Structure 1
Amino acid sequence: MSAPIRVLVCDDQALIRTGFATIIDAQPDLAVVGECGDGRAAVDLAARLNPDVVVMDVRMPVLDGIEATRLLAGAGVAHPVKVLVVTTFNLDEYVYEALRAGASGFLLKDAPAAQLLHGIRTVASGAALLAPEVTRKLVGRYAARIRPAEGAATDTALTPRELEVLRLIATGLSNGEIAATLVISQETVKTYVSRLLAKLGLRDRVQAVVHAYRSGLVT
């Protein structure tokens, strides 16, 4: 068996932290390696505990979740940690700020436990958690305000097929839908996605959507 996904839970409400930790630790493929109540503690603990995923609240004392996410997963971080932002605030601006800071996903605290677990596994795998239609709407609205990652390659580095896959990702299609559109296998799509992310210096599909909008590949 592979090692369990290591999770750090950060929330300023002890009851919520305990609830999340209990749900997560009950899964054989997940393990809570630490808990904390503010963003600064999350950054410090992540450096010591090396979690695969940090479940991060937004509004917290000392250092809020957005700034903590930027320190853990933002552009220029040598060893970025995947962050799943979980909050009670369903505001576009929070989602945008979380993604801009480097978060790989966004959930509301009233989501079912199964969604939290799915979110952790999804983010740990390197995929983005936001539903395609949410990603498309959100990034489309804020794309002009999102700066390209420093050192990211230009789209001239991509082959015509990789550019085609990038455009389809940005329109919100899943790998299966891209495969059907291009009449290729899902494994081939996965290969194209991995290649284009590597060439452009992008972390995941959310950043790929942002890049596509910023580059004018989609409008």
Structure 2
Amino acid sequence: MRTLLVEDDDLIGNGVEAGLRQAAFTVDWARDGREAQLALGTTKYALVVLDLGLPKMSGAEILAWLRDCANDVPVLVLTARGNVVDRVGTLEAGADDYLGKPFDLSELVARCRALLRRSQGRSVEVMRYHDIVVDAASKTVLRDGARVPLTAREWAVLLQLLSHQGVPQSKSRLEESVYRWQEEIESNAIEVHVSNLRKKLGADLIRTVRGIGYLMDKK
């Protein structure tokens, strides 16, 4: 899932980016508030991990701007401010969750997954679709009980389609969910990933919606 990390501390940012990418998140990293605002204004994200103490534009200002724009993207706030007043104020301002610094990376990843589940109307990590079982936590896919190996890109495309059953996903939307900033994208990359998923998981798994994109029908 395409995630925006907003953090000006390189040490923390490098650790969080690595941890989220290891957990199969597609991560863009903005190092100040203005850069984050530009990213959020031009890209649709599934999740935002937001530090409050940012240069150029504070995390609180970013959060207020997001909610004023009616952007309901889930936001996990990271901050060194640990008192109850700050926590309550951040949540009431529109944050979906709060994690004080220092934090354990595994807890951050777990909270991010929980926010994504909540935004998608799920309560568990395991998703079932006909004869396919997808475990987002362990990044495993089973078909008829047998494990099916997927590349990182195939996994990202599958999760995007599976999380939006019944809603066609355009090629550009799938590219946004799979590729980070400044990554080169071949013109037929999404077609190749979809073709590979059909070969591995079934020809009827993903339907082409002519002129729009691709779709996994709601089961």
Could you tell me the TM-score, scaled by structure 2's length? Answer: 0.51
Amino acid at match of 1:31: T
Post-superposition Cα deviations, 1:27-67, rounded to whole Å, max 9, x if no partner, equal 13x221x1112222212112222111111111111111111
**Whole-angstrom distance in 2 between the partners of 1:41 and 1:100:** 24
Q: Which portions of structure 1, spanning 4 or more consecutive aligned residues, are displaced by more than 6 angstroms?
A: none
Q: Which has the higher helix share?
A: 1
Partner of 2:26: 31
More strand by share: 2
2:17 corresponds in structure 1 to 21
Unaligned ranges ≥5, structure 1 = 128-219
Question: 1:1-219 counterparts in 2 under 5 A?
Answer: 5-28=1-24, 30-32=25-27, 34-72=28-66, 74=67, 76-126=68-118
Aligned residues: 119
Separation in 2, partners of 1:109, 1:8: 18
Matched-pair identity in %: 27
Contact 1:67 1:101 in 2 (8 A): no
**Corresponding residue for residue 131 of structure 1:** none
1:64-112 Cα shifts (integer Å, max 9, x gaps):
111111112x2x4333221100112212222122112210000023221
Q: In the TM superposition, what whole-angstrom CA distance separates every residue of 1:150-190 from its partner, at most 9, and x where no partner exists?
A: xxxxxxxxxxxxxxxxxxxxxxxxxxxxxxxxxxxxxxxxx
Higher relative contact order (CA 8 A, sep 6+): 2
Matched residue type, 1:97: G
Per the alignment, in what secondary structure is the counterpart of residue 78 of structure 2? strand
Q: State the TM-score, normalizing by the size of structure 1.
A: 0.51
Q: What value does the CA root-mean-square deviation take over the aligned residues?
A: 1.6
Q: Which has the larger radius of gyration?
A: 2
